[in-house]
Chains A and B, each alone.
Chain A
Amino acid sequence: MTDFLLKTSHLSKTFGSLLATDRVNFEVREGETHAVIGPNGAGKTTFIKQISGELRPDAGTIHFAGEDITTLPAPRRSRKGLARSFQITSIYRDFSALDNVALAVQAHAGHSFRFWRPAREDLSLTRPARQVLEKVDLEKRADILAANLAHGEQRQLEIAMALATQPRLLLLDEPVAGMGTEESQRMIELLATLKGEKTMVLVEHDMDAVFTLADRISVLVYGRIIATGTPAQIRANPQVRAAYLGEDA
């Protein structure tokens, strides 16, 4: 077996009579950027939530770094090196940008049953947090309340929080959703700098982002993966064109 960082086998999840995830076998190699595309309602979000641990699958297994994590709750998965961004921006709006990232650092710096020393003066938290902010180009905005950042900056902040947990795998749920052209261009550039350095699973509608960034693409339709391959292969696949791009095969 080659070194798969993440591997799902026969992963299934139903809601009532809806098969949201249907026996999905999905593999992510160490170091690659693997995009998951599919039409609306294809079950992408349900799928990513099972990987991150927010939803428990009905059947099937998830292995991460050679370990079965199927039943681990989300926080434990995060500590094993799985980080995610959300489709709808999920940050601490009432904290400063620096606090947001420092909290992510803190989550991976041992337990937090420390009651006395002010965390905001703790250099072991703020120094790495500032470094990550620098990486996503937000260092000048460190002291701004997250709620007051522009939409694109908030999404960058979310990436920063994910990076601050020093993950082995980044799960990115539509990172350029709702962005203007300029903002999404900046986000794609940011993700491009991470490419190769971090293993990434990218769930995205924006084909520009997908074809720029992805090494491989999996196509999810009605809860099933109908094709996996390089961007060129996917572009040429008649089944994909029929099901997804809405063209006649």
Chain B
Amino acid sequence: MAFSPRTWILLALLLLLAAVPPVADYFGQPFYLDLLRRVMIFAIAAVSLNLILGYGGMVSFGHAAYLGIGAYAVGILAHYGINNGWLQWSLAIVASALVAAAIGSISARTSGIYFIMITLAFTQMLYYLGISLEEYGGDDGMQLKVRSQFSGLIDLNDASAFYYLVLAILAAFLYLSRRLVNSRFGLVLQAARSNEARTRAIGFSPYPYRLAAFIISGAMCGVAGALLVNHTAYLTPEFMNWTRSGELMFMVILGGIATTSGPLLGAAALLLLEDVLQGWSVLPKWLHEHWQLYLGVILVLVVLFARRGLASLLPGNEHHD
């Protein structure tokens, strides 16, 4: 197989990520492992969102819902002493897919402003549901006492083993989404985004394809949720906060919408920027205290002037590879 320049860069990036644990260990900086693991988990969520937002043209403002569902699936089972990871993660995937099917069956019939508001509203509903579940900590959330256990195959308490698991899942999802996008299914999805009237006129009814994409995307994001709750070892409805949905969208745009590497680049850029603005004590106090002010301005500027995202800085194009 001949790889395009962009594919080579993405592979190099993944290799670079794979080299981080030994290097961080050597320099005694485990903090970076934690930060990059978080970046990769959000990159997985952004990959799943990119599928419907980028390739499907569906502006879902509620993708944090599936982060939450995946996290709650793991957290609730763990709450009842069921720590089997296979079971927990299967539930995370199935539950996310079911919720996506329910929300998608209503929202995918609509478009434009309706679609945005409906996905946002349903996610808010799940957020309030999470808050009202006192049994699972209500709005305070609760601790995940034991991380998911995979019959001794991999130990998530081992920071670097967990890191490699996240990396492997990220790489798998990147490959998966790439296959999906270029398959017959993916082309119909993109066609419906590009020109709906034409798509109907040549004989496709877009709805079932959009709904299927919505469900696949939700299930993928559910995996990110299961990873996230293991990462923080804490379950909270804040995973489903509407601002989280906004951040996921921003990652996709910032990285480059409808590109393979965009979600990873966007997640890395946003979270590292946040981390720098928030925590770097070298910067003056007023800067990191009110970092959201600057983030807001940066967001507006990116949308207005840098719409094509970071991936557009890479050589080559997305079309044939």
Contact = CB atoms under 8 A, between A and B. Distances in A.
Question: Do A and B touch each other in the complex, judged by CB within 8 A?
Answer: yes
Interface of A: 52, 54, 73-76, 78-79, 83-84, 86, 90-96, 99, 102-104, 106-108, 112-120, 122, 125, 145, 161-162, 164-165
B203 A118 contact: no
Contacts of B198: 86, 90-92, 161
* Chain B, interface SS category: helix
Given A54-B197, A90-B198, A116-B179, A107 B204 contact: yes
Contact of A92 (B191, B205, B209): B191
A113 B182 contact: no
B151 interface: no
Interface string B183-218: 111111011001101111111110011001000000
A145 B180 CA distance: 22
Contacts of B209: 112-113
A108 B212 CA distance: 20
Nearest to A110: B184
Most buried by A among B180, B183, B184, B197: B184
B201 A120 contact: no
Nearest to A84: B201
A115 B191 CA distance: 15
Main secondary structure of the interface of A (DSSP, over half): mixed
A82 to B, nearest CB: 9
B183 A119 contact: yes
A114 B202 CA distance: 18
B157 to A, nearest CB: 35
B194 A114 contact: no
B201 A83 contact: yes
A112 B183 CA distance: 9
Nearest to A93: B194
Given A95-B191, A104-B202, A165-B202, A120 B197 contact: no
Contact of A119 (B184, B195, B203): B184
A186 B55 CA distance: 36
Given A73-B205, A76-B205, A125-B184, 10 more contacts: A54-B200, A78-B200, A103-B191, A112-B185, A112-B187, A116-B183, A117-B184, A118-B179, A119-B184, A162-B202
Nearest to B182: A118
Contacts, number: 98
Task: Bin chain B's interface residue count.
Answer: 20 to 34
B202 A120 contact: no
Contacts of B186: 115, 119
B185 A114 contact: yes
16 contacts: A52-B201, A75-B200, A84-B201, A90-B201, A91-B198, A92-B194, A106-B184, A106-B187, A106-B188, A108-B203, A112-B185, A112-B209, A113-B209, A114-B184, A114-B185, A165-B202
B173 to A, nearest CB: 14
Interface in B114-147: none
Contacts of A165: 202-203
Nearest to B206: A75
B182 A75 contact: no
A249 B25 CA distance: 96
A229 B222 CA distance: 64
A117 B178 CA distance: 11
Given A73-B205, A84-B201, A93-B194, A103 B187 contact: yes
A89 B320 CA distance: 25
B187 A78 contact: no
A119 B181 CA distance: 10
A93 B199 CA distance: 12
A115 B201 contact: no
A75 to B, nearest CB: 4
A92 B188 CA distance: 11
A115 B185 contact: yes
A102 B180 CA distance: 17
A161 B180 CA distance: 24
A35 to B, nearest CB: 20
A79 B204 CA distance: 9
Q: Which of B187, B190, B209, B319 has the most CB of A within 10 A?
A: B187
B179 A78 contact: no
Given A112-B188, A114-B184, A83 B202 contact: yes
A92 B202 CA distance: 12
A119 B187 CA distance: 8
Given A92-B198, A93-B194, A95-B194, A75 B205 contact: yes
Nearest to A73: B205
A122 B208 CA distance: 23
Interface in B155-186: 179-180, 182-186
A74 B201 contact: yes
B203 A78 contact: yes
A90 B208 CA distance: 22
Contacts of A76: 205
Contacts of A93: 194-195
B203 A75 contact: yes
A113 to B, nearest CB: 6
Contacts of A122: 184
A99 B190 CA distance: 11
B218 to A, nearest CB: 16
